[in-house]
Amino acid sequence: MMASSWRAQSSEQRGAYTTVAQAETPGAELTAHGKELEIGSRPDQDLESAVYVGSKPTPEDFLFLPRVADNLPYGAFLVAIVELCERFAYYGLAGPFQNYMANSYHDANGLPGALGLSQSRATALSNFFQFWCYVTPILGAVVADQFLGRYLTIKYFSIIYMAGIAVLFATSLPWSIERGAAFPGLLAAMVIIGLGTGGIKSNVSPLIAEQVRSTSAFVETRKDGKQVIVDPEITVQRVYMIYYMCINVGSVSAIATTLLELHVGFWSAYLLPLIMFCIGYAVLVRGKDRYIIKPPQGGVIGSCFRALWIAARNGFDIEKARPSARRKRSHTISWDDSFIDELKTALMACKVFLFFPIYWVAYSQMMNNFVSQGMYIDIGPLFQG
């Protein structure tokens, strides 16, 4: 028979929840539908998240009751919209890059272009841009973990991102192309945009997960009398399903910008991502009060690099970075021997990344060489009767 421990609780407690500081300080004030359970001083309200208590599922409940997602917080939708706008801008401006770089302005064959760098050099620059965009998230993660927190990192790096798109737009105007400003403007925009996307890419994904308020499963009775288990794991899955749906919707922007490139000009193809990103930034700033925001809580990246530096100076022997092996040294270190064991495990796991360049060199062809190839394909006979 279904366990009924949860029935002993009153209906008022069944949906009760408490708010606790995300910093997980021992002194926190818990509030359960107007009931104050004081355990210390009240934390900053910006750091509060809901944790449901009571109605804890029994083993029998997990066997017989369906597991469902909790109501998705409004802040999660806002973060997803911000990511949609950022991906719209990224794929929208990257789509016309190959033609913009490879073909000449007023090309003799009627191809859209601006710089005339040739296909090979355009492909090299395109690959550099993608490489740079995947390196800078390391910097973005360090800034968020050590200094600003995720929200402020996204906010400030978004300003950098918008500045990069603005440079690209301004230097893609016909007046700028004719006066030779397009190439230096492109290089500057690639560096600035790559730096901006690094601060966003590394922090949006964890920020949206932090918007999930419930941290443990609880039994809920719906209006129709049906009982379900509200599972935070299912809630997180639902949140990320919406998150990646927004990424895929944003990537469709390449269709719009390539059409603008062909029929209007490159300046319009880069203006559209700039407008869309400004909309995303406005959503990010206006929705601040809706987010669950954690303060910077530190990270291990700095310690990892320091341990690797010690190993490199000692013949790449990671064992030399153990505190037990450096007791007689004057330099202080902030980790223990178990940290070095975990670092060794991580380094072993990183071997899988050796195969990633092979994949990405092939995958990136869709953004450069395949674009150039498509410009010269004659598909007319395919549509002739």
Domain 74-214+225-295 has CATH 1.20.1250.20: yes
Q: What is the pLDDT of residue 329?
A: 56
How far is the CA of 159 from the CAs of 190, 214, 287, 350, in angstroms?
15, 32, 16, 33
| Angstrom distance (rounded) from CA 171 to CA 153 | 27
pLDDT at 96: 93
Q: Report how far residue 322's alpha carbon sits from residue 177's, in angstroms, rounded to the nearest whole number.
A: 57
Strands 227-230 and 29-32: unpaired
pLDDT at 18: 36
Q: By the 8 A CB rule, do 318 and 311 touch? A: yes
In the 8-state DSSP scheme, what is residue 147?
I
CB atoms near residue 285 (< 10 Å): 11
Pairing of strands 67-68, 48-52: unpaired
Burial 3-38 (b: 16+ CB within 10 A, else e): eeebeeeeeeebebbbbbbbeeeeebbebbeeeeee
SS3 call for 221: strand
Query: In residues, how long is the chain?
Result: 385
Each domain of the chain, given as residue ranges in start order, spans 5-65, 74-214+225-295, 301-353
Phi, psi of 60 (to 5 degrees): -70, -35
Q: What is the mean pLDDT of each run of 10 residues along the chain (385 residues)?
A: 40 37 37 37 41 66 85 88 94 93 88 91 93 93 91 96 96 94 96 95 91 83 84 90 94 93 94 96 92 84 85 86 68 79 89 88 87 73 50
pLDDT of residue 379: 58
**What pLDDT sits at residue 47?**
40
Strand 48-52, strand 17-21: pairing: antiparallel
Main-chain phi, psi angles of 173, to 5 degrees? -65, 150
